[in-house]
Amino acid sequence: MSRILLIEDHDRLAQLMHQGLVNAGIAVDVVDRIDAAWAAVQQISYQALVLDRGLPDGDGLLLLKKLRNAGLSVPCLVLTARDALHDRVEGLEAGADDYLPKPFAMDEMVARVRALLRRPVEFHSIDPIHGDLRLHTESGVLFSGNESITLAPAELHIMQLLLYKHDEVVRRSALEAAAWGLSEAVTPNALDVALHRLRRKLRAIGSRQRIANVRGMGYALRQADDAK
Residues 7-32: tens digit of each pLDDT? 999 999 999 999 999 999 999 999 99
User: How open is the CA angle 105-106-109, to the nearest 5 degrees?
Assistant: 95
pLDDT at 85 over 90: no
The reported pLDDT for the residue numbered 226 is: 57
Residue 43: predicted pLDDT: 80
Span 102-112, pLDDT tens digits: 889 999 999 99
Q: How confident is the model at residue 76 (pLDDT cuts 50, 70, 90)?
A: very high
Instruction: Report the pLDDT value the prediction gives residue 123, as an integer from 0 to 100.
Output: 43
For 163-198, what is each residue's pLDDT tens digit? 888 878 988 888 888 788 766 667 888 999 999 999
Structural domains of the chain, with CATH: 3-117 (3.40.50.2300), 129-223 (1.10.10.10)
What is the reported pLDDT for 136? 86
Cα-based angle 124, 191, 5 (whole degrees, multiple of 5): 40
DSSP 8-state assignment for residue 206: T
Contacts of 87-95 with C-beta under 8 Å, sequence gap 24+, read: 90/61, 91/53, 91/61, 91/64, 94/61, 94/64, 94/65, 94/68, 95/64, 95/65, 95/67, 95/68
The SS3 assignment for 83 reads: coil
| Cα–Cα separations (whole angstroms), residue 184 to 25, 51, 181 | 15, 20, 6
Considering only residues 128 and 66, tell me which one the structure prediction assigns the higher pLDDT.
Answer: 66
Average of per-residue pLDDT values in the chain: 86
> Which has the higher per-residue pLDDT, 187 or 123?
187
Residues of the chain above pLDDT 70, percent: 91
* pTM, two decimal places: 0.63
